[in-house]
């Protein structure tokens, strides 16, 4: 799982951006 890596990177990004990116990735994962 690359969740840890993404989480570490997310800490250096704005919460708003992280939420948007995480949500998009999550939805993309579910759709795939």
Half-sphere exposure of 15 (CA within 13 A, CB side): 0
For position 19, what pLDDT does the model report? 72
pTM, two decimal places: 0.32
23 pLDDT higher than 70: yes
Q: What angle do CA 18, 24, 28 make, to 5 degrees?
A: 145
Mean of all residue pLDDT scores within the chain: 69
| Cα–Cα dist 14/32, whole Å | 27
Provide the pLDDT confidence category of residue 9 given band limits of 50, 70 and 90.
low
The percent of residues in the chain predicted with pLDDT above 90, rounded, is 0
More confident residue, 28 or 1: 28
């Amino acid at each position: 799982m690359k969740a840890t890596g993404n989480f570490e990177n997310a800490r250096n990004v704005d919460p708003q951006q992280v939420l948007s990116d995480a949500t998009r990735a999550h939805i993309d994962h579910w759709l795939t």
